[in-house]
């Protein structure tokens, strides 16, 4: 028996409306397609909605100042190809989340470079269009939300870096690690990170709760020096801060979370 929580409920009228909308899209000529400018925060969400309604292979165009900057090929509610300046992205290795993250990051980078972007439905794509790295609309949506969460750590680092004696940013497994500041301070933070990982590994529940929501704590690292540990999803930022700067830095974290 299906799990009720996993069953999508829809009324007959809602289903009929969705079907009519889908048929209109499939029958539309490229010349009849709409064009709508998307704000930076909404481009990925709008693109996900388009992909989620595509069954037969179709192009979705990303334009800036009337010029095509990228073309998404969607089919069967999946992103199957992303072409930037007419060049397809190379095959993406890794898990489905890795594939979705690579697409989401590439689309976000296009938005950052181009500024205002217009999303436009294109024509039908060639039936032969395939990709070794397809990504479902749902997974792309999930990863897009994760990218937004990760920006919190970067915002906090940018705000607090001037007050830090050293810092270490453990990013997602794919992105690796970044660091800065005095070498001996960075080494002390790395040792703290190893100890923290060992403690979390022995307490699975605590580790899961750690990533449930953004958090920020302060620990003594050395005389007159505190370690600030900020976490969000898979990212962890550790900063060494003079003790008299801790309240200011923690206030910055609260401001970033608003």
pLDDT in tens, 116-168: 788 888 888 875 555 557 899 998 888 877 665 556 888 888 888 889 999 99
pLDDT (tens digit per residue) in 192-230: 988 888 777 665 544 444 445 789 999 999 889 999 999
pLDDT over 50 at 34, yes or no: no
Domains of the chain in start order, with CATH, are: 14-143 (no CATH), 164-257 (3.30.450)
Residue 28's closest CA among 64, 67, 65, 56? 56
CB count within 10 Å of CB 195 equals 10
Instruction: Report pLDDT for 192.
Output: 92
Task: Identify the pLDDT of residue 218.
Answer: 93
101-110: pLDDT as tens digits: 888 888 887 8
* Distance in angstroms (rounded) separating the CA atoms of residues 121 and 22: 13
Residue scoring higher pLDDT (198 or 253): 253
79 touches 129 (CB < 8 A): no
Residue 232 to residue 177: CA distance in whole angstroms:
15
């Amino acid at each position: 028996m299906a799990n009720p929580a996993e069953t999508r409920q829809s009324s007959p009228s809602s289903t009929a409306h969705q079907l009519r909308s889908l048929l209109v899209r499939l029958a539309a000529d490229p010349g009849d397609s709409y064009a709508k400018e998307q704000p930076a925060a909404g481009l990925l969400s709008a693109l996900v909605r388009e992909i989620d309604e595509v069954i037969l292979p179709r192009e979705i165009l990303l334009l800036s100042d009337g010029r095509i900057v990228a073309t998404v090929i969607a089919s069967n509610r999946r992103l199957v190809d992303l072409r930037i300046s007419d060049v397809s992205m190379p095959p993406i290795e890794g898990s489905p989340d890795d594939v979705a993250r690579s697409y989401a990051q590439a689309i976000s980078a296009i938005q950052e470079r181009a500024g205002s972007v217009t999303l436009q439905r294109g024509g039908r794509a060639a039936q032969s269009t395939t990709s070794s790295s397809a990504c479902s609309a749902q997974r792309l949506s999930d990863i897009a939300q994760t990218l937004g969460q990760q920006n919190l750590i970067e915002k906090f680092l940018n705000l607090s870096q001037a007050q830090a004696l050293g810092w270490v940013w453990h990013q997602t497994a794919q992105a690796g690690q970044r660091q800065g500041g005095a070498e001996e301070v960075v080494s002390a933070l790395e040792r703290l990170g190893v100890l923290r990982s060992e403690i979390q590994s022995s307490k699975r529940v605590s580790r899961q709760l750690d990533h449930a929501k953004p958090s920020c704590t302060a620990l003594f690292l050395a005389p007159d020096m505190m370690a600030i540990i900020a976490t969000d999803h898979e990212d962890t930022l550790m900063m060494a801060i003079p003790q008299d700067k801790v309240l200011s830095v923690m206030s910055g974290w609260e401001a970033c979370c608003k």
